[in-house]
Structure 1
């Protein structure tokens, strides 16, 4: 419903703000007023008379308090903004208005990318912050320049909102930010959507930092971080899109669908043929139509999400689901490998050197026949006990253990631990594997489930690398990361490398068996995992994730924030932003090893900086 900017309307807005409420109201002719909560600032955009500029209007939608209106509505806006400024200045001690403008397409006089309009003498720090942040924006092939000018044009003439005298009376700062419209084609007005999206994100960050400088000095509002000035209230469209993406993701279990169900029979077939021919693997029937799911996927209107951070998360997830569905459609064909490389990456030269270094440093495996195994039922009981420990911290946790004939080894899927009936689990590694599967995979699944944003339990794109790095590191922290385990992680990397180079199943198996001296059964399992589905490069992420995680800890970062859900390392700033904005909640579940005093020396050792090779020195 569209509201007219009447006296009653303005009084209602001010009354809501004074009561601490969110305000979101439609304005005449497609305008919008959105104020997330009482805040000491407002960002404004007015469409030029007779020339709607929706591309530039989109820039202000990233802010927690904004108005989009039309230049013709200036008389009504003058009263509306004046009353908002007075009320918020009374509450916070000062107020800031920033008006966004697009430079005319033919403005040859000033060719700078941005022009900051502000008072010539007052508050130079805020203006300097805005100018410096804008100048630091880097966009490929587009040089960014910033100039400053007086804000007198905003204070004088028929389109002015507040006079200089009124600004002083209400302790209000009026700034302008003029953008050169490089995000649209001159003449036709056609928008370059990717450039606009990138520039909008950078400009939003610069505005928040400038506002942060203003509010922490001039007002009684003291946010912890500039990102805390972002939007807290989330519009219903966000939750709807989050649910739609999750619904598509929940319709299939990718790892189960690309894991053979006839591993034992395939091994016998391979052995009988003296390892000369690749075995025939059988897979579960496909429960989905990938094409129909893709249609649903791209019918989700992500472009309606105003918040650039959340829109980025959703677009990122859509791309990943697209690639995953392509992989399932291409299962057991040569095309599967190409999609796997896009989704999980390959093996770079540095990672290959680490893997080959591990295999050279640990040339001999332990004598597997001498390693005592734990019965599957007993291991399941230990896992159930650990799940109960997690549930004691978060009663909503609903997990369990399933022992299944169609599973090889251990797999966590949808927050449950699946154990193969023939799984061979060394007793001395039982606790390490429980922390790997339960203390990492199940824990992060339900930490993600505890968040309002479902993408955190479904899994952010590329989350596997950090997940597996955390899981392997948990094995080290509880004293269960042995030489054989590291050898297997290295073998997976080497096998993925040779798979990408075109090596056959038999070649990879024989390399592991003869050159690296793995047992026939272990060599087969590693080769099967890498070649399954047509070539799955995911197994390289275990060692790669561990290497990257060690570097992350060496830089002084903490382990616990990584456990908020199934995220990738690059998402840490995004997660932190959403925590500052109170969109996300604190982590409810902590793994047992983080509460164990005996583990603390190892954590300190990690922060001091060690390599993968040092992990065996304990």
Structure 2
């Protein structure tokens, strides 16, 4: 449903209030500019309203810009302007009456800042009559307090009083109006610890404080809704706005544009890989030519300036603010890496970007290499070439088009590509690509059933970053892709060894090993063929040390644990994100910001997949997946 907007109302006549309520019923969610700089954002599906009042003559000077931001991410909030307060009172009474008729009860919470010296939250309300809701609010605000012990905040104070408004202000509604409209009114005085005594805000601290306060408010509101109303809200996470604000859309668009202004993997890959390989083998594994990289299509300084000109501080939605800030840090690292290719700085930033290798991951890799033996390559008759792979890939694209006619993607066979990869939903493969038929079936699901599919599913969402990828999305993406190989029966011994070998190679690079040392480690100590040892080593040594390849086994380990703990697989295919983003993804789904997915992979519908997922949930070791 589209959000309705209008120009500022000049006055609150009875007709205009009736029109607001009628429009709310018809549109489900409305936005209204109101007299004196007021503003209403309300959902017809949520029986609550959070209020901030500004009655000062000078709306710009009078607005407490930090405190008002505590409520701006709410699905239902009202900012009271500096004109016609009686009209606002009539509006609140009528809204309360209408919503109580629909949901049996209605909640209004007024939020305001306390005295500059205040160091405690204060709750004003009928503590004796509705003690459970107030108790929950008290507990939640005490939790906020506990997170800032250095400030020595006092315990939340509950005042059982009829005066629930700020000191010296008129009440929003009097007691008879509250009874007649079926409304509970609470006042929440917030200690303004997010600014100095002189009124100067602490922006970094305020962001954290605001996010914690919003969660406390939502948990309290959900408790009231669940106990006192007939609303079907199922979680406190559903209480945020379901329509993205324009400033949010703009920041999302610009972050996506910055990332798509360059091809990260393409620019990290050497353009002369064939020459490097030929020379290395011709010199009996001794000579390693310098990597030559493609020219940067951008000025790093200019791109970083654009990145940090984005006003992320204006995003009040805690979930979106978090993923935007994460993404900006990741893009900053990527841009730095591209300008530092071939240097030690590239490698150090790579470790920051993709993470270090945990002891558990190292042990898992070594166990696989110890327990899984290298298999001889199959004879040439079972080998498929690039054009054969292209035919199978196009068949999979046709399967996606059966689910959504708007799906479109292409296969590109190129001589200047050294690895099979997906970029922005398009499939690229080397012209001399060769692999056996079983591996082809597995890689179809790896590249198309995972990477292309999640790109397209993410594209259908209002957040562009879900197709481009939230921070650290690679780990889950590659874990899903490798899992798909197992589910379709194509996870071979050599493939599993390759994933483990990448971890061992990255670990060696982290300990200072060079190209020849890593190659010999894989070839002599772990019995990789020279061909496979070179492929693993050359990828790890891109840029000076590119540790993205640890994501495959790392992601599989994380995904296995997720499934063992009862997690589902299908929701992970709705876009490109990390496992740690699932609470945010679930929140955005509950708020109906995100829509149902368009595409599901072929393998999810098979009985064989169900059985194999069952084995994983039961704890089968990774080294046995190739035999299961």
Equivalent residue for 1:93, pick from 101, 104, 113: 104
Query: Within 2, Cα distance between the matches of 1:141 and 1:361?
Result: 51
Q: Does 1:23 align with 2:30?
A: yes
Q: Secondary structure at the match of 1:106?
A: coil
Equivalent residue for 2:401, pick from 391, 405, 408: 391
Query: Within 2, Cα distance between the matches of 1:579 and 1:416?
Result: 27
Query: Within 2, Cα distance between the matches of 1:35 and 1:89?
Result: 15
Instruction: Name the counterpart of 2:368.
Output: 358
Query: Within 2, Cα distance between the matches of 1:560 and 1:136?
Result: 34
Cα distance, 1:202 vs. partner?
A: 2.1
| CA-to-aligned-CA distance 1:317-348 (integer Å, 9 cap, x gap) | 22222221111111222211122122111212
Q: Does 1:136 align with 2:143?
A: yes
Query: Within 1, Cα distance between the matches of 2:205 and 2:54?
Result: 21
Q: Secondary structure at the match of 1:19?
A: helix
Query: Within 1, Cα distance between the matches of 2:409 and 2:53?
Result: 53
Q: Does 1:413 align with 2:423?
A: yes
Instruction: Name the counterpart of 2:510.
Output: 500
Query: Within 2, Cα distance between the matches of 1:368 and 1:133?
Result: 61
Task: Name structure 2 gaps, 5 residues minimum.
Answer: 1-6
Query: Within 2, Cα distance between the matches of 1:270 and 1:345?
Result: 30
| CA-to-aligned-CA distance 1:391-418 (integer Å, 9 cap, x gap) | 2112211112111111123111111111
Q: Does 1:160 align with 2:171?
A: yes
Task: Name structure 1 gaps, 5 residues minimum.
Answer: none
Equivalent residue for 2:212, pick from 178, 202, 217: 202
| Contact 1:71/1:159, CA 8 A, preserved across alignment | no
Q: Secondary structure at the match of 2:483?
A: helix
The two structures have a TM-score, normalised by structure 1, of 0.94
Q: Does 1:461 align with 2:471?
A: yes
| Contact 1:151/1:176, CA 8 A, preserved across alignment | no
Instruction: Name the counterpart of 1:549.
Output: 559
| Contact 1:36/1:233, CA 8 A, preserved across alignment | no
Cα distance, 1:552 vs. partner?
A: 0.5
Q: Secondary structure at the match of 1:176?
A: strand
Query: Within 2, Cα distance between the matches of 1:21 and 1:222?
Result: 15
Query: Within 2, Cα distance between the matches of 1:151 and 1:291?
Result: 58
Equivalent residue for 1:512, pick from 504, 522, 529: 522
- Count matched residues: 612
Equivalent residue for 1:60, pick from 57, 68, 71: 71
Cα distance, 1:30 vs. partner?
A: 4.6
Query: Within 2, Cα distance between the matches of 1:74 and 1:193?
Result: 31
| Contact 1:547/1:611, CA 8 A, preserved across alignment | no
Query: Within 1, Cα distance between the matches of 2:87 and 2:129?
Result: 28
Instruction: Name the counterpart of 1:578.
Output: 588
Q: Secondary structure at the match of 2:77?
A: strand
Query: Within 2, Cα distance between the matches of 1:512 and 1:256?
Result: 25
Instruction: Name the counterpart of 2:128.
Output: 121
Q: Secondary structure at the match of 1:59?
A: coil
Equivalent residue for 1:83, pick from 64, 83, 94: 94
Instruction: Name the counterpart of 1:229.
Output: 239
The two structures have a TM-score, normalised by structure 2, of 0.92
Cα distance, 1:11 vs. partner?
A: 4.2
| Contact 1:40/1:95, CA 8 A, preserved across alignment | yes
Query: Within 1, Cα distance between the matches of 2:115 and 2:18?
Result: 35
Instruction: Name the counterpart of 2:449.
Output: 439
Report which stretch shifted further, 306-315 or 334-343.
306-315
Equivalent residue for 1:486, pick from 475, 491, 496: 496
| Contact 1:550/1:610, CA 8 A, preserved across alignment | no
